[in-house]
Structure 1
Amino acid sequence: MTRSIASWLNEACEQLRQCDDNFRRDAETLLSWVLGKNRVYLFTWPEKMLTQEQENKLAESLVRRLKGEPVAYIIGEQEFWSMPFYVNRHTLIPRPDTEVIVEQALKHLPPDSRVLDLGTGSGAIALAVAKERRDCRIDAVDFSEQAIEQATKNRDRHCLENVSIYQSHWYQSVSGSFDLIVSNPPYIDAEDEHLSKGGLSYEPYSALVAEDNGLADIQHIVNEGQKYLNRHSWLMVEHGWQQKDAVQDIFIKAGYHRVTSVQDYGGNDRVTLGQNSE
């Protein structure tokens, strides 16, 4: 026996309430996805009856969510910078706080710039910048072949021809010089207890964790960055909310100038940037 939209939503919220702070939003997102409708439709037609096929798909999705799998992986999509992005378990889920690095990139980009995005994942940062600045050329690289595949799908989805996507372990296959380098690298300590909890346990370990208390990849990106930056150009990296001092120290010791950090929307130190003097 099938239920109405309103009935399913009420029951799903009751189940999710015990394990999910955003239970209402997640239930609505799953239902919208299965129906192929936006959330306004749910409130306009609450009496509409679900088909048995829809009920079955919703039941499967709800079980996955109750086990802790992020909604973005269940539906295969996440919004970032008001753009829909395909995601899967080979890429991190783009987070709202990462939009801060896009904002900083746009503030520091001169006209007709060349940009490098290291560890692009789904391509969120690179493609958001490319959308806003079609005069710029962006190289987006990642070591993971699966990530490159997702980023390419997202580039084609948004018809952003000013983005080149290719495989590279950080700078290994990169050539030329850039007016800006951005990166959201792995920065979580392998001993961090949050790795085994909630949605993080579903995300790719290699995209989350770095050696040396989460700082190893940041250190490599910063230390090598000056070889690829034009004079007076900027490098900026996302990092953990407690890593500001350590990351600023890495920048300063590497010889960057005007080193500063920017907070995310929750008031946590999230992005550090420095200017190449050479």
Structure 2
Amino acid sequence: MTLGEALAAARQQIDRLDARLLLQYATGCSHADLLARPEMPVIGPAYEQFQDWVARRAAGEPLAYLVGEAEFRGRVFQVSPAVLIPRPETEVLIELALAKLPGLAAPKVVDLGTGSGIVAISLALESPAATVVAVDLSAEAISVARNNAGRLGARIDFRQGDWFSPLAGERFDLIVSNPPYVADGDPHLALNGLPFEPQMALTDGADGLSCIRHIVADAADHLAPGGWLLFEHGYDQGEASRNLLTAAGFKAAFTFPDLAGIDRVSGGHL
């Protein structure tokens, strides 16, 4: 079996780009190799791995879980089924967070529900003066995030626990979170590979707002005067998020859209 033959066969089952990327990962060849040397033979173990990945991709398993990594903000992060796959809309949360840090000599930041660590690590690397703490309930997620921080050279204080529970007595200049916000029973949970992702990171098992309510209710006890809370949420949760923030005493509650114009991040300050 040659590279060209393997690629042609896979394209009968899965997306053309996915087929090419999986073949590159399985064989170690580059895109240029595929174009210039399609007659190159694929050795047995590599072809077996490729066939396995193609079958799993055809069954809906996300590409990132097959190859064990995904790109976010120009960095490659390790991922596993213990963490959500990074999504570009989360960059909105990071950009808004970074905008709150100038003027603070040594800002303290906490990322609640860090998952693979993309938010905490991005903030630590792009705001080197910041002290960043990252919390997650899942020990497996903490392990993935810690590995990512080590590979990318980010200094993060990781804590395992439920939201604010590992942060007793601590206050921060900025709290960020991408919590579970998909409502239980939402049909989106059955689409686009989501059944393969950790359900407790996607849905709260209720109306999609229970984790946001908890974070908003307890955030003031962990914010410095003037501190900001920013969190990602669903397309239809902007108004509810602003109402929760205002009721909890936050000022200047706002909602910011992602690049598609969809409400994506809400926040406010003390």
Question: Structure 1 residue aligned with 2:150, among 137, 141, 156?
Answer: 156
C-alpha separation between the residues in 1 aligned to 2:243 and 2:37? 56
C-alpha separation between the residues in 2 aligned to 1:141 and 1:50? 43
Match in the other structure for 2:86? 94
Q: Secondary structure at the match of 2:61?
A: coil
Instruction: Show CA shifts across 1:94-135 (max 9, x none).
Output: 111111111111111133211000000010100011111111
Equivalences for residues 63-102 of structure 1 within 5 A? 63-102=55-94
Question: Structure 1 residue aligned with 2:263, among 243, 266, 269?
Answer: 269
Match in the other structure for 1:120? 114
Question: Structure 2 residue aligned with 1:10, among 8, 11, 20?
Answer: 8
TM-score for both structures, normalised by structure 1: 0.92
Match in the other structure for 2:201? 207
Equivalences for residues 145-184 of structure 1 within 5 A? 145-161=139-155, 163-175=156-168, 176-184=170-178
Alpha-carbon distance, 1:211 to partner: 4.4
C-alpha separation between the residues in 2 aligned to 1:247 and 1:38? 46
Does 58-67 or 28-37 show the bigger shift?
A: 28-37
41 and 268 in structure 1: CA distance in 2 versus 1, 3 angstrom threshold: farther
- Partner AA of 2:137 in structure 1: F
Alpha-carbon distance, 1:9 to partner: 2.2
User: Is residue 2:114 matched to residue 1:130?
Assistant: no
User: Is residue 2:46 matched to residue 1:54?
Assistant: yes
Match in the other structure for 1:20? none
C-alpha separation between the residues in 2 aligned to 1:260 and 1:45? 54
Alpha-carbon distance, 1:46 to partner: 3.2
Asked if the contact 1:102–1:125 (Cα under 8 Å) also holds between the matched residues in 2, the reply is yes
Q: Secondary structure at the match of 2:165?
A: coil
Alpha-carbon distance, 1:54 to partner: 1.4
Q: Secondary structure at the match of 1:62?
A: helix
Match in the other structure for 1:196? 190
Alpha-carbon distance, 1:166 to partner: 1.4
Instruction: Show CA shifts across 1:214-245 (max 9, x none).
Output: 00000110111011111111111100111111
- Partner AA of 1:93 in structure 2: I
User: Is residue 2:221 matched to residue 1:227?
Assistant: yes
Runs of 4+ in 1 over 4 A off after TM superposition: none
- Partner AA of 1:265 in structure 2: L
Identity level (%): 38
Match in the other structure for 1:258? 252
Instruction: Show CA shifts across 1:175-213 (max 9, x none).
Output: 411111000000011111222334100111111111441
C-alpha separation between the residues in 2 aligned to 1:39 and 1:131? 30
User: Is residue 2:242 matched to residue 1:244?
Assistant: no
Q: Secondary structure at the match of 1:141?
A: strand
Q: Secondary structure at the match of 1:96?
A: coil
C-alpha separation between the residues in 2 aligned to 1:267 and 1:29? 30
Alpha-carbon distance, 1:35 to partner: 2.1
- Partner AA of 1:215 in structure 2: L
Q: Secondary structure at the match of 2:158?
A: strand
Q: Secondary structure at the match of 2:76?
A: strand
Q: CA RMSD in A?
A: 1.4
Structure 1 stretches lacking a partner, 5+ long? 17-22
C-alpha separation between the residues in 2 aligned to 1:39 and 1:217? 43
Q: Secondary structure at the match of 1:181?
A: strand
Asked if the contact 1:117–1:139 (Cα under 8 Å) also holds between the matched residues in 2, the reply is yes
Asked if the contact 1:168–1:174 (Cα under 8 Å) also holds between the matched residues in 2, the reply is no
Structure 2 stretches lacking a partner, 5+ long? none
Asked if the contact 1:113–1:179 (Cα under 8 Å) also holds between the matched residues in 2, the reply is yes
Asked if the contact 1:68–1:199 (Cα under 8 Å) also holds between the matched residues in 2, the reply is yes
